[in-house]
């Protein structure tokens, strides 16, 4: 049985969530909290398998509560955002930076209008996140890892393609923050993320990074030192050096799909692509990464120890798609060395 703690100052929200889980056979609500301080105390006392956390709460807000929980009694945390306004969406991603695993929006915002689609997605998300092992998430000084060896390339790449799913927002951020403003490559990102959060994810990355990050638009080009994030609910590909957003069926149950982007970039740009596959459940991106490698591009995969979920990286390794398997802290070093910028690693 999955034990869930609900932390939300809205009695309506807690009632709706309680009713959703009451209809399942494997999820039980073991406690409720109406403010952040109560959430911290009950998390320590009840030892739930997952905490569902609102951000805007009295006494102690969700941000501070997440930080204390992850420092003292770490547990998987799912953030439920009540609005899609920029400020709260940014706060939701800041919560991920502090240790939360994922974020979802409440349908109907603060009014919390229940839909069957939301109920199904929430139950699926809870079952996934509750199985993830988390560790203490404390603020520590950055320790620069020993650079990993990078195999020689015929020419430096010009495109960096990044794919991620569960645990990805924090991993993607750690890579982009390490890139200098004059990074000589165009960056394409597919992050599996809840409906409505792709634009906020791009804005958050833009705020936190030296390079420019924006949501991808159909027909535009991407210059060196710029990054684009695939929008929700459409695939992103490249044709003749320009982005094309397509409304094709999901691939690997995903839209946008990492495989779709990686395959398109491999066919359009060949050896000029460096593909990076990060933490995530399932196998999306593995075949596409292999295609990049077959076309002469370099490929990097996050290792098991630093992945929140090792599904996608494991699938890539099993297909011999990984040119290198590296800890997350070593991936920026490898990227910069392949792009000829090995002397510009930005310590975080």
Domains of the chain by start residue, with CATH: 2-129 (3.40.50.2300), 159-338 (3.40.50.180)
Q: With CA atoms as reference, report the closest residue to 29 among 7, 9, 60.
A: 7
Q: Is the pLDDT of residue 240 over 90?
A: no
Lowest mean pLDDT: which of 36-40, 68-72, 82-86, 123-127? 82-86
How many DSSP H helices and E strands does the chain contain? 11, 14
pLDDT of residue 150: 53
Instruction: Cite the active site residues.
Output: 165, 192, 284
Mean pLDDT over residues 234-245, rounded?
Answer: 93
Q: Is the pLDDT of residue 47 over 90?
A: yes
Distances, alpha carbon 32 to alpha carbons 3, 13, 68, 93, 119, in Å = 11, 11, 17, 23, 19
Helix, strand and coil percent figures for the chain, each rounded to 5: 35, 20, 45
pLDDT of residue 341: 72
Q: With CA atoms as reference, report the closest residue to 288 among 141, 207, 185, 190.
A: 190
Q: Is the pLDDT of residue 136 over 60?
A: no
CB 5 within 8 A of CB 46: yes
pLDDT of residue 348: 44
pLDDT of residue 142: 37
Q: Is the pLDDT of residue 267 over 50?
A: yes
Token pair 């609900």: residue: 6
CB 279 within 8 A of CB 308: yes
What is the spatial distance between Cα 104 and Cα 54, in angstroms, rounded to a whole number? 10
What is the spatial distance between Cα 342 and Cα 339, in angstroms, rounded to a whole number? 8
Both tokens of 257, joined, read: 């799909």
Mean pLDDT over residues 176-182, rounded?
Answer: 95
CB 338 within 8 A of CB 274: yes
Mean pLDDT over residues 103-108, rounded?
Answer: 84
Q: What is the DSSP letter of 218?
A: T
Contacts of 117 (CB under 8 A, 6+ apart): none
At residue 152 the predicted structure's pLDDT band, cuts being 50, 70 and 90, is low
What is the spatial distance between Cα 285 and Cα 251, in angstroms, rounded to a whole number? 10
Contacts of 3 (CB under 8 A, 6+ apart): 28, 30, 46, 47, 48, 49, 50
pLDDT of residue 111: 66
pLDDT of residue 195: 85
Mean pLDDT over residues 134-156, rounded?
Answer: 53
pLDDT of residue 82: 73
Mean pLDDT over residues 43-53, rounded?
Answer: 96
Three-class SS state of 347: coil
Q: With CA atoms as reference, report the closest residue to 304 among 278, 283, 284.
A: 278
Decide which of 109 and 10 is more confident: 10
What is the spatial distance between Cα 56 and Cα 91, in angstroms, rounded to a whole number? 9
At residue 145 the predicted structure's pLDDT band, cuts being 50, 70 and 90, is very low
Mean pLDDT over residues 143-157, rounded?
Answer: 57
| Sequence-separated contacts (24+) of 57-61 with Cβ below 8 Å | 57/7, 57/8, 57/9, 58/9, 58/34, 59/35, 60/35, 60/36, 61/36
pLDDT of residue 207: 94
Q: Is the pLDDT of residue 135 over 70?
A: no
pLDDT of residue 173: 96
- Kindly state the percentage of the chain with pLDDT values over 90: 76
pLDDT tens digits, 1-38: 999 999 999 999 999 999 999 999 999 999 999 999 99
- Kindly state the percentage of the chain with pLDDT values over 70: 90
Distances, alpha carbon 283 to alpha carbons 136, 171, 292, in Å = 28, 18, 16
Measured distance between the N- and C-terminal CA atoms of the chain, rounded to whole angstroms: 39
Decide which of 217 and 56 is more confident: 217
- Other beta carbons less than 10 A from residue 18's beta carbon: 14
Contacts of 246 (CB under 8 A, 6+ apart): 234, 235, 237
pLDDT of residue 282: 93
pLDDT of residue 9: 93
pLDDT of residue 110: 62
Q: What is the DSSP letter of 111?
A: G
**Average pLDDT of every residue of the chain:** 90
What is the spatial distance between Cα 59 and Cα 45, in angstroms, rounded to a whole number? 19
């Amino acid at each position: 049985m999955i034990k869930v703690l609900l932390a939300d100052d809205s009695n309506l929200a807690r009632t709706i969530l309680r009713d959703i889980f009451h209809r399942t056979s494997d999820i039980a609500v073991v406690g409720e909290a109406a403010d952040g301080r109560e959430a911290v105390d009950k998390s320590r006392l009840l030892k739930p398998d997952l905490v569902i956390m609102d951000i805007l709460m009295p006494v102690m807000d969700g941000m501070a509560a997440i930080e204390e929980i992850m420092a003292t009694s770490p547990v998987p945390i799912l953030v439920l955002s009540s609005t899609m306004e920029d400020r709260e969406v940014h706060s939701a991603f800041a919560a991920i930076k502090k240790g939360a695993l994922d974020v979802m929006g409440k349908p109907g915002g603060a009014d919390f209008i229940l839909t069957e689609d939301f109920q199904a997605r929430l139950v699926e998300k809870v079952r996934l996140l509750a199985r993830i092992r988390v560790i203490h998430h404390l603020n520590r000084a950055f320790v620069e890892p020993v650079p990993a060896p990078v195999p020689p390339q015929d020419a430096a790449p010009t495109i960096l393609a990044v794919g991620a799913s569960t645990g990805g927002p924090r991993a993607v951020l750690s890579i982009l923050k390490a890139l200098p403003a004059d990074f000589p490559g165009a960056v394409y990102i597919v992050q599996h993320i809840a409906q409505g959060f792709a634009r906020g994810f791009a804005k958050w990355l833009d705020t936190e990074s030296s390079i420019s990050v924006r949501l991808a638009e159909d027909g535009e080009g991407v210059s060196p030192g710029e990054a684009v994030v695939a929008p929700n609910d459409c695939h992103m590909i490249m044709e003749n050096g320009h982005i094309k957003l397509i409304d094709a069926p999901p691939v690997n149950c995903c839209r946008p799909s990492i495989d779709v982007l990686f395959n398109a970039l491999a066919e359009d740009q060949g050896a000029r692509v460096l593909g990076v596959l990060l933490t995530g459940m399932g196998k999306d991106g593995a075949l596409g990464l292999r295609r990049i490698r077959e076309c002469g591009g370099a490929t990097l995969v996050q290792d098991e120890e630093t992945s929140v979920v090792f599904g996608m990286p494991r699938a890539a390794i099993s297909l011999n798609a990984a040119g290198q398997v590296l800890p997350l802290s070593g991936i920026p070093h490898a990227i910069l060395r392949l792009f000829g910028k090995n002397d510009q690693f930005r310590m975080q």
